[in-house]
Amino acid sequence: MEDLLKLQYSLQQDSVEAALEMSKRGGHLWIFMERPALARDCRIYIYNLALRLGVRIKAAGLTEGIEIFPKHDELRDGEFGNAIRGPLGIHRGANRRYWFYGADYDLEKQIAYLNRLRKVSEEQLRSFIAGQIMPPGFDRKRLPSSKAVPFVHNSGREFRILEHVGTVRKVGLNYVTQCPSCAEAGQDRSGDNLAISIEDPRKYLCWAGCRKEMIRRAVGCPIPARQSA
């Protein structure tokens, strides 16, 4: 929370009105745009600001620090974005709504507060990141789908993801555990990026955007070249 307050104050110096929200494990600091913006540009801004303030970021091998969403730059066919509870939404695990600190704990007053916040324009964001790049250690390299590793599966046994992951816990209709591909990149230290369907464990996805090819390769069972999924 101390780090989020430090970020909130510094954002205010840039005329960015960030909203601080309670959460199950501390807090969330929301920044709202006038229009959709590139996730990479947003992260370049926050990464550089956080590093300048000495705020640790949970990435590049660090197990402690803030997490910044969204975590990936693009979505390819069949991929999903990050699972993020929207502002004032009901947390499915805790089964409760978390409030923003800027208004009374009443839904209408909270929405009015969010509507009053100054939204960041595309021009502002461009000015914030002018001359800046993604800090070293925070660019995750993704293997192009054309680089899939050829593999012949001789056992004839269906791949079961649950046999290749660590401890799982139930969240709603899914098992949740650490994504092996994220772990390879030194990420997902909280162990909740990979969701596996309880009803049909053959269905699984990484909320951080890892493709199945990346996950299968990380556990040592790459998808056979002739298979499509």
Do 93 and 68 lie in one domain? The reply is yes
Split at pLDDT 50, 70, 90, the class of 3 is very high
Which of residues 68, 98, 129 is at a domain's end? Answer: 129
Q: What are the pLDDT digits (tens) for 8-46?
A: 999 999 999 999 999 877 899 999 999 999 999 999 999
d(CA 158, CA 148): 19
Do 78 and 179 lie in one domain? The reply is no
Do 109 and 168 lie in one domain? The reply is no
Q: Which residue has the tokens 């640790």?
A: 56
Do 47 and 90 lie in one domain? The reply is yes
- Range with lowest mean pLDDT among 19-23, 76-80, 188-192, 214-218: 76-80
Do 6 and 104 lie in one domain? The reply is yes
Q: What is the sign of the dihedral through the CA atoms of 166, 168, 173 and 179?
A: negative
CA-CA distances (angstroms) from residue 134 to 14, 41, 51, 65, 119? 19, 9, 11, 18, 23
Do 158 and 73 lie in one domain? The reply is no
Give the range of the structural domain holding residue 188, as residue numbers without chain letter.
145-218
Average pLDDT over residues 89-113: 91
Nearest to 146 by CA among 213, 97, 80: 213
pLDDT at 37: 93
Do 66 and 172 lie in one domain? The reply is no
Do 30 and 101 lie in one domain? The reply is yes
pLDDT at 7 over 50: yes
Tokens of 228: 């499509």
Q: How many domains does the chain have?
A: 2
Percent of the chain with pLDDT over 90: 41
Within-domain flag for 107:
yes
Q: Is the pTM of this model over 0.85?
A: no
